[in-house]
Amino acid sequence: MNTRNILPNYIGNQWRHSSALEHLDVYNPATAEVIGAVPLSPAAEVDQAAQTASKALVEWRRTPPTERVQFLFKLKILLEEHFDAIARTITLECGKTLDESRGELRRAVENVEVACGIPTLMQGYNLEDIAAGIDEMMIRQPVGVCAAIAPFNFPGMIVFWFLPYAIACGNTFIVKPSEKVPLTMQKIFGLLEEIGLPEGVVNLVNGTKETVDAILDHPTIKAVSFVGSTAVAKSVYGRATVNGKRAQCQGGAKNPIIVLPDADMELTQRTVPESAFGCAGQRCLAGSLAITVGEARNWFTNIMVDAAASRVVGNGLHPNVEMGPVITPESKTRIEGLIQKGADEGAKILVDGRNTEISGYDNGYFVRPTLLDDLNPDSEIAQTEIFGPVLSLIHVNTIDDAIALVNSRNYGNMACLYTSSGAAARKFRYEAEIGNIGINLGVAAPMAFFPFSGWKDSFFGDLHGQGQDAVEFFTQKKVVVERW
């Protein structure tokens, strides 16, 4: 246990030290240095946060939306002022490059900007004279106390798929960050403190499973937004909904990228390596399964071998580094084990990123880009989310074979197609059973005013994060029929 820098929770506008007896160290994955310690907050602290948030709700939901969004305008300004410092913290605890950290933070800010439109976005509708002298209207009201549970791979962005919309709609909020990357939320809650929100509108409780279970079982918490691995997403969804809560739970992914023979080679070369190896493959939109059609096989394989072998790996804080470490030593071991599993199942290792050594970073958790070729589509490696810088290649003969392969997977987060044929693109867009589609780009990340969609085992729920879906999720509809 590390007692040097145990992070506080933020409850009722106060930074409070947790009564937790257990703490987990937080590491810089590039150096393995301890950079903090996170408390495993007990249920009693979730209860404090829920009670405080519940008290705050009384006045907050009565605050006009035009006034509520003033806090978001201030938050946007502060996020811009502290942009680089927060990006550095993301890189420090998560390992990704500074550019990648800036990218995720930019999307966080964009969500704040979109939520500033809540006075328009949360409007209902009405119809006069549904019968003589009788009018009917639908109004949206907040759901109550809501909570978000976040994964490690986007310490700054993912909470923003939910929090700005929730509070702008008049809800109060609890955040449970990933215990692996809790420092970024400390910084962001510092800014939330600065904008002067009323006591209890936003709260931060650190921890792991026990803390999450306390959120899921707490009767005062009415809605839960979860992002993480599929197994946990599914169980969180089950427990939250059995307990009568709204839930939106985003899970894992194994995202296919189809390359047709008529694809633009230069564009493919420029963007697919970024999809596969950006954020060290620890991105739920990472392209992890490349499906080449016909003669795309040779040129695409050559492009990817070069890209994998030449990517500059190191500490994400260094400006020339193109790929940082993976998050933990366990993650490195798991990824390397899956590469071996692929080989055992018959795949050819074209580029092997195991046993990586980075000069000056002997203790960092590095895995270099890896290419596995000629997978059997039914093998385990072709279906398991590796969540590391590993691209697997499968070769088929027709676009129909490729789309059938995409649709045979359990996940449905993202799929991309590279082609110069509009007809092929349209066919793919129409037929793919996938929530986020990319055409001639490798990371189809929806902007804040679109839902972060995801289908099949990549999502449990109905309404997604971001944009109008978030407004729907964080409000309940009331229908009023009036005669005067």
Q: Which of 150, 175, 339, 406 binds ligand NAD (CB under 6 A)?
A: 150
Site residues for ligand NAD, 283-322, by CB under 6 A, read 284
Tokens of 169: 């709609």
Q: Which of residues 410-469 bind ligand NAD (CB under 6 A)?
A: 413, 452, 454, 458
| E strand map for 42-198 | 125-131, 134-142, 145-149, 172-176
Tell me whether residue 32 is exposed, middle or buried, using C-beta atoms within 10 angstroms of its C-beta: 0 to 12, 13 to 18, 19 or more. Answer: middle
Tell me which stretch binds ligand NAD (CB under 6 A): 74-82, 130-138, 204-212, 341-349. Answer: 204-212
Whether the Cβ atoms of residue 236 and residue 226 lie closer than 8 Å to each other: yes
472 binds ligand NAD (CB under 6 A): no
The residue to which tokens 């692996």 are assigned? 180
Geometric angle at alpha carbon 312, from 413 and 358, rounded to 5°: 110
Shortest CB 179 distance to ligand NAD, Å: 5
Burial, 183: exposed, middle or buried (Cβ in 10 Å; 0-12, 13-18, 19+)?
Answer: buried
Which of 387/474 has CB closer to ligand NAD?
A: 387
- Nearest approach, Cβ of 153 to ligand NAD (angstroms)? 5
- Among residues 251 and 316, whose Cβ is nearest to ligand NAD? 251
Residue 295, Cβ neighbours under 10 Å: how many?
Answer: 11
Q: Is 212 in the site for ligand NAD (CB under 6 A)?
A: yes
Q: Of all residues in this chain, which one has the CB nearest to ligand NAD in the complex? A: 228
Query: For residue 19, with 0-12 CB atoms within 10 Å meaning exposed, 13-18 middle and 19 or more buried, which class applies?
Result: exposed
Buried b (16+ CB within 10 A) or exposed e, 53-80: bbbbbeebbeeebeebbebbebbbebbe
Short-list 249, 214, 268, CA closest to 41: 214
Which of 300, 474 has the CB closer to ligand NAD? 474
User: Is 29 among the residues that bind ligand NAD (CB under 6 A)?
Assistant: no
From the list 152, 365, 460, 473, which residue makes contact with ligand NAD (rule: CB under 6 A)? 152
The Cα–Cα gap between 484 and 480 comes to 13
**Shortest approach of ligand NAD to residue 268 CB, angstroms?**
24
The yes or no reply on residue 153 touching ligand NAD (CB under 6 A) is: yes
Q: Which is nearer to ligand NAD, 2 or 229 (CB)?
A: 229
Residue list 248-287, contact with ligand NAD (CB under 6 A): 250-253, 284
Catalytic center residues: 284
Binding interface with ligand NAD (CB under 6 A): 149-154, 176, 178-179, 208-209, 212, 227-229, 232, 236, 250-253, 284, 385, 387, 413, 452, 454, 458
